[in-house]
């Protein structure tokens, strides 16, 4: 067999590279830089169907390249609607073969929270970057395992914290950073809606249900982003007005956070109350956001007359484009796995406080 000099040299270069890099890092080192990344959505429920897939029609740095579903009946509709080739369609069993598919750069996990760890770890082992929906996972141990799997496979992990990509929330975070009105005296943060469903994973403990992980992370983020600090202790109470539906998990959670600077936050979240607001009272003024975590229309006002109201085409498109830019340019993500973990640390402490009836240090 004759080997052309050019082929021989490229074989040699690859072999040399293989001794320097291993596994996924070798692939990353030899693949050309893409300008538009392929995303595969895992779990084709409400959020993927109604928000993420439509947003992926507006993105500039990524597109909907594939799907992973446990429901074969959904395949035809998605295939036709989004022009997805058969080779980019997976189920939960053959999902790991995605490792051999160069069309897929990112796996976006949009499943019930108790399934996030398994699919994030499998995606990382397949050498794919990962986006994971909130809440990151039911426990701190799960979050740490997910972060570690992504680190050891040299892929990025972003949490679907769409609000942190919203220019209105970013403007509010800037005010918080500048300490324009002096020290914070009190934060009030609420996020909830009336969920009329009766047999859903959000009511199932094993699947990671409960309002605290679901809407509660928005109330918690309002307080964390307003103070720019991590809470040091929490006291919480859980309740339900519909015990026939919320048998295993709470319908409503009220929690009070203490921050290192002395700032305090009173937070509420519920599947039985429509509420979505944040009020920060400072020594010399106040800031309000209402709503504070909607898909669109998040609005702010301040005691000095400033209004925050920046138009936005699609929060989810902006989120995915910004996260893809961080992957393409290898820069910092706005909300990496560590940010999801920060919230779950507090969520765990909140459940401990509910169980003990006492304040819990974080
Ligand atoms: P959903 O119930 O509408 O969809 C869940 C999907 O998971 C379905 O495709 C379902 O078939 C699949 N699934 C696989 N195994 C399942 C099981 N054992 N039980 C139930 N479903 C199973 O849920 P959703 O509202 O799309 O939520 C999915 C994820 O997205 C959650 O983590 C949720 O918190 C998150 N979410 C985020 C936002 C946001 O604003 N960032 C909004 C909605 C949902």
How many angstroms separate the CA atoms of 159 and 74, rounded?
A: 25
pLDDT at 61 exceeding the cut of 50: yes
Name the pLDDT band for 32 (thresholds 50, 70, 90). Answer: low
Tell me: do 179 and 119 sit in the same domain.
Answer: no
Nearest CA to ligand 1 atom 6: 45
Please give the average per-residue pLDDT across 144-168, as a whole number.
98
- Indicate whether 63 and 193 sit together in one domain: no
Tell me the C-alpha distance between 293 and 220, whole Å: 11
The distance from CA 335 to its chain's CA centroid, rounded to whole angstroms, is 7
Q: How far apart are CA 336 and CA 235, in angstroms?
A: 27
Residue 64, domain extent: 34-162
Point out the least confidently predicted range of 15-19, 42-46, 192-196, 271-275. Answer: 15-19
Query: For residue 179, what pLDDT band results from cuts at 50, 70 and 90?
Result: confident
Q: Among 41, 91, 111, name the best residue to mutate to test ligand 1's pocket (greatest count of ligand atoms within 8 A of Cβ).
A: 111
Report the separation in Å between the CA atom of 195 and the middle of ligand 1, taken as the mean of its atom positions: 14
Last residue in a domain, options 129, 162, 195: 162
Strand partners for 246:
none
Per-residue pLDDT, 177: 87
- In the prediction, which pLDDT does 176 show? 85
Where residue 27 falls among pLDDT bands split at 50, 70, 90?
low
Q: Is the pLDDT of residue 19 over 90?
A: no
Which CATH number belongs to the domain containing residue 279 in this structure?
3.30.360.10
Q: Does residue 293 fall inside a structural domain?
A: yes
* Averaged pLDDT of the chain: 92
3-class secondary-structure state, position 248: coil
Q: Answer whether 47 contacts ligand 1 (Cβ < 6 A).
A: yes
Q: Which two tokens stand for residue 4?
A: 């052309």
pLDDT score recorded for residue 362: 97
pLDDT tens for residues 229-253?
Answer: 999 999 999 999 999 999 999 999 9
Q: What angle do CA 191, 195, 199 make, to 5 degrees?
A: 135
Q: Per-residue confidence at 14, pLDDT binned at 50, 70, 90?
A: very low
State mean pLDDT over 95-113: 98
The whole-angstrom separation of Cα 275 and Cα 266 is 14
Closest CA to 343 of 224, 261, 250: 224
Tell me what the mean pLDDT of segment 5-16 comes to: 38
Dig out the tokens for 193 from the structure. 């809606």
Check if the beta carbon of residue 122 is closer than 8 Å to that of residue 150: no
* In a domain? residue 3: no
Q: Which burial class, exposed, middle or buried, applies to 362 when counting CB atoms under 10 A from its CB (0-12, 13-18, 19+)?
A: middle
Cβ 132 under 6 angstroms from ligand 1: no
Question: Does residue 303 sit in helix, strand or coil?
Answer: coil
Cα angle 350-240-216, degrees, rounded to a multiple of 5? 40
Quote the pLDDT of residue 8. 34
Lowest mean pLDDT among 19-23, 87-91, 278-282: 19-23
CB 211 near ligand 1, within 6 Å: no
Task: Indicate if the pLDDT at residue 5 is higher than 70.
Answer: no
Q: State the angle between helix axes of 167-178 and 216-227 in degrees (0 to 180), rounded to the nearest 10.
A: 40
Q: Is the CB of 162 under 6 A from ligand 1?
A: yes
Gap between the Cα atoms of 266 and 169, Å rounded: 19
* Number of independent structural domains in the chain: 2
Asked if residue 328 has pLDDT above 60, the reply is yes
What average pLDDT does range 68-91 have in this prediction?
98
274 and 213 part of one domain: yes
Statement to judge: residues 180 and 290 lie in one domain: yes
Alpha-carbon distance 247 to 122, whole Å? 32
- Tallying the residues shown for the chain, one arrives at 362
* Per-residue pLDDT reduced to its tens digit, 331-356: 999 999 999 999 999 999 999 999 99
Last residue of a domain, one of 106, 130, 162: 162
pLDDT of 143 over the 50 cut: yes
User: Does one domain contain both 102 and 175?
Assistant: no
Pick the last residue of a domain from 103, 137, 162. Answer: 162
For residues 63 and 38, the answer to whether their CB atoms sit within 8 Å is: yes
pLDDT of residue 21: 41
Q: Is 31 a residue whose pLDDT tops 90?
A: no
Whether residue 328 is contained in a domain is answered as no
């Amino acid at each position: 067999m004759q080997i052309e000099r050019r082929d021989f040299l490229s074989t040699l270069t690859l072999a040399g590279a293989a001794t320097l890099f291993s596994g996924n890092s070798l692939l990353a080192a030899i693949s050309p830089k893409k300008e538009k990344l392929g995303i595969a959505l895992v779990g084709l429920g409400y959020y993927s169907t109604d928000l993420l897939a439509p947003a992926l029609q507006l993105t500039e740095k990524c597109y909907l390249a594939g799907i992973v579903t446990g429901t074969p009946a959904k395949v035809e509709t998605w295939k036709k609607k989004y022009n997805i080739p058969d080779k980019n369609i997976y189920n939960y069993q053959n999902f790991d073969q995605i490792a051999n598919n160069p069309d897929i750069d990112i796996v976006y996990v949009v499943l019930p929270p108790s399934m996030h760890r398994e699919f994030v770890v499998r995606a990382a082992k397949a050498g794919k970057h990962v986006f994971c929906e909130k809440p990151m996972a039911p426990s701190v141990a799960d979050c740490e395992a997910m972060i570690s799997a992504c680190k050891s496979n040299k892929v990025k992990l972003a949490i679907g914290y769409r609000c942190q990509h919203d220019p209105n929330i970013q403007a509010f975070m800037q005010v918080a950073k500048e300490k324009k009105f002096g020290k914070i005296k009190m934060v009030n943060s609420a996020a909830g809606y009336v969920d009329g469903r009766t047999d859903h994973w959000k009511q199932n403990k094993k699947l990671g249900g409960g309002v605290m992980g679901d809407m509660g992370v928005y109330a918690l983020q309002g307080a964390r982003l307003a103070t720019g600090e991590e809470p040091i202790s929490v006291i919480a109470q859980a309740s339900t007005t519909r015990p026939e539906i919320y048998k295993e998990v709470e319908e409503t959670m009220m929690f009070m956070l203490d921050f290192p600077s002395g700032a305090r936050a009173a937070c509420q979240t519920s599947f039985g109350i429509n509420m979505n607001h944040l009020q920060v009272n400072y020594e010399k003024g106040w800031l309000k956001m209402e709503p504070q975590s909607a898909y669109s229309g998040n609005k702010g006002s301040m005691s000095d007359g400033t209004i925050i109201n920046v138009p936005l085409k699609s929060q989810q498109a902006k989120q995915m484009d910004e996260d893809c830019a961080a992957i393409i340019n290898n820069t910092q993500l706005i909300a990496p796995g560590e940010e999801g973990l920060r919230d779950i640390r507090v969520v765990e402490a909140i459940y401990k406080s509910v169980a003990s009836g006492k304040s819990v240090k974080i």
